[in-house]
Amino acid sequence: MKRLFPILVVLSAIFLAYALHLSLGKGTPTDAQQGDVYRIIYYHVPSAWTAFLLFFINFIASIQYLVSAKASTKIAAKWVVIGVGVVGGIACFLPQVQHLLPTGMRPSAVATTVLAIPAFYFVIGKFFPGERLDMLAVTSAEVGVVFCTIVLVTGPIWARPVWGIWWAPGDIRLTSTLVLWLIYVSYLVLRRFSSSAQTQMLAAALAVFGALDVPLVYFSIWFFRTQHPQPVIGGGGSMDPRMLHVLLISWMAFLLFAFLVCWSRFRLEGLHREIEQAHAMESLVGAGVAAKASLPLGRSSS
């Protein structure tokens, strides 16, 4: 594992450089309306998708952490998740349900998202048992906030030349993204400054409610009038295949980079907890020695 990390770092650097080359290269067409500024899409959209994925991982890890307190809730949650996957996956292809989907939204895209819930649930549960679930939750939230910050910074930089304004006040897509960022920042603040024994449980509960904002952000462009353009994949919008190709390569590069950052952050969290445990043990031993030392004195004085 120690050897794999530097290899992946080098691969990630090469991949990101290649994605940058494609993003700015002449092989990718220039947008007829926006000119070259549209190329911000190759950083803005992959960052948004990566942030959503990380918040989704945080959501699943938080649920797992909450239900793992009792064996009965753990079993019940397992069957609920299987039910959501099976019923949701089938329902997307029923004509009655398809009728309810907004125009342009592909049922297969919705079904894939629904099926991702049980898939992630069982994979995360298998590879991150016990306390590691909480470590994964804090890792994914923190790295997700970094990517969400990039979305909130690059969005206005793109909006200024295209819309003529930095920010569209009251726009549901923009506002819900800002709210999402604020929820996860408060999650991190709670974890950083609360010393209560219940902090991990409280943070997990906040993360579950916070994650409810992710579908609102994603689906807002279908259900509400917004200045934000339609999505480039999953239905609704249209994009030159060459642009889509570069966009997907850029996302893969950012995913590999995010994976490495999460790996480092996870190790940092592990080291932090080991040191905290060692400090706690040290103070316990110290208290024990002090108690032993004070015992004869206490007896002699009485």
Q: Site residues (CB under 8 A) for other proteins?
A: 20, 33-37, 39-40, 43-44, 47, 146, 149-150, 153-154, 157-158, 160-162, 257, 261, 264-265, 268, 271-272, 274-275, 278-279, 282
Structure tokens belonging to residue 59: 């959501």
**Nearer CB in complex with other proteins: 70/272:** 272
Q: Residue 271 CB, nearest distance to other proteins (Å)?
A: 5
Structure tokens belonging to residue 197: 């024994």
Q: Are 137 and 65 in contact (CB under 8 A)?
A: yes
Q: Residue 152 CB, nearest distance to other proteins (Å)?
A: 10
Q: Residue 292 CB, nearest distance to other proteins (Å)?
A: 19
**Nearer CB in complex with other proteins: 47/200:** 47
Q: Residue 137 CB, nearest distance to other proteins (Å)?
A: 17
**Nearer CB in complex with other proteins: 33/72:** 33
Q: Residue 186 CB, nearest distance to other proteins (Å)?
A: 18
Q: Residue 261 CB, nearest distance to other proteins (Å)?
A: 7
Residue written as tokens 């907004």?
Answer: 102
**Nearer CB in complex with other proteins: 38/120:** 38
Q: Residue 233 CB, nearest distance to other proteins (Å)?
A: 21
**Nearer CB in complex with other proteins: 94/278:** 278
Q: Are 28 and 173 in contact (CB under 8 A)?
A: no
**Nearer CB in complex with other proteins: 32/100:** 32
Q: Are 74 and 199 in contact (CB under 8 A)?
A: no
Q: How far apart are CA 177 and CA 251, in angstroms?
A: 19
Pick from 68, 19, 65: which is nearest to 46 by CA? Answer: 19
**Nearer CB in complex with other proteins: 110/173:** 173
**Nearer CB in complex with other proteins: 19/105:** 19
Q: 206 CB contacts (<8 Å, ≥6 apart)?
A: 183, 186, 187, 190
Q: What is the four-CA torsion angle of 24, 29, 35, 36, rounded to 10 degrees?
A: 0
